[in-house]
Amino acid sequence: MLDSHFARRDRQPRIVRLAIATGHDRSFGVEEKTALVVDRAARTGEVIGRLGASLLDTSSATSDGRNVAGVRYSYFTTGSTIDFATGAITLAGTAHSGAGAAAAPVAPTDIWGSDECEGGIFGTLDLAQGLVKSSASTATGDTCDSPAESPRFRTTFTRTASTTWNDDGGFTDLAMSITGIPSFSAVASAPGSAGTPNPQVPAGSQATITVTVTNTGGTPLTGFRIESDGSGAVSAASDPASTTVVAPGGTLQLQTTRTVAKGPQTFALRITATAVDANGAELGVATAPQTASIAFVGVGTGTEANASANAGANANGSSDSGGSSSDAKGSATGSTSSGANGAADGSGSGADGQGSLARTGAPADGLALPAAAILLLAGAAALIARARLRARV
Q: CA–CA separation, 262 vs 293, rounded Å?
A: 18
Supply the pTM of this predicted model.
Answer: 0.69
Burial label, 345 (beta-carbon count in 10 A; 0-12, 13-18, 19+) = middle
Q: CA–CA separation, 331 vs 348, rounded Å?
A: 8
Sorted by sequence, the CB contacts under 8 Å of residue 237 that are 6+ apart come out as none
pLDDT of residue 322: 41
pLDDT of residue 301: 64
Cα separation values, 338 from 325, 341, 348, Å = 12, 8, 9
User: Which residues face 52 on adjacent strands?
Assistant: 77
Of all residues in the chain, the percent with pLDDT exceeding 70 is 72
Sorted by sequence, the CB contacts under 8 Å of residue 128 that are 6+ apart come out as 73, 75, 139, 157, 171, 174, 176
Q: Cα(first)–Cα(last) distance of the chain, in Å? A: 166
Half-sphere exposure of 224 (CA within 13 A, CB side): 27
Q: If pLDDT is split at 50, 70 and 90, which confidence band does 198 have?
A: confident
Q: If pLDDT is split at 50, 70 and 90, which confidence band does 336 have?
A: very low
Expressed in percent and rounded to 5, the helix, strand and coil fractions of the chain are 15, 35, 50
Q: What is the per-residue pLDDT across 307-317, written as a single tens digit (0 to 9) for each?
A: 443 444 444 44
139: left (phi over 0), alpha (psi -120 to 50) or beta: beta
On whether the CB atoms of residues 51 and 145 are closer than 8 A, the answer is no
**Number of helices followed by number of strands (H, E) in the chain:** 4, 23
Sorted by sequence, the CB contacts under 8 Å of residue 82 that are 6+ apart come out as 36, 44, 45, 46, 55, 76, 88, 89, 90
Pairing of strands 200-202, 290-299: parallel
Average confidence (pLDDT) over 120-130: 94
Tell whether the model's pLDDT for residue 102 goes beyond 60: yes
Q: If pLDDT is split at 50, 70 and 90, which confidence band does 382 have?
A: low
Q: Is the dihedral of CA 8, 12, 14, 15 positive or negative?
A: positive
When mean pLDDT is compared across 41-45, 372-376, 382-386, the lowest value belongs to 372-376
- The number of beta carbons lying within 10 Å of the beta carbon of residue 129 is 22
On whether the CB atoms of residues 151 and 249 are closer than 8 A, the answer is no
Closest CA relative to residue 89, chosen from 130, 60, 46, 38: 46
Quote the crossing angle between the two packed helices 123-132 and 12-22, to the nearest 10°: 100
Tell whether the model's pLDDT for residue 358 goes beyond 70: no
Cα separation values, 10 from 82, 115, 169, 232, 343, Å = 22, 13, 16, 45, 102
3-state secondary structure 46-106: EEEECCEEEEEECCCCEECCCCEEEEEEEEEECCCEEECCCCCEECCCCCEECCCCECCCC
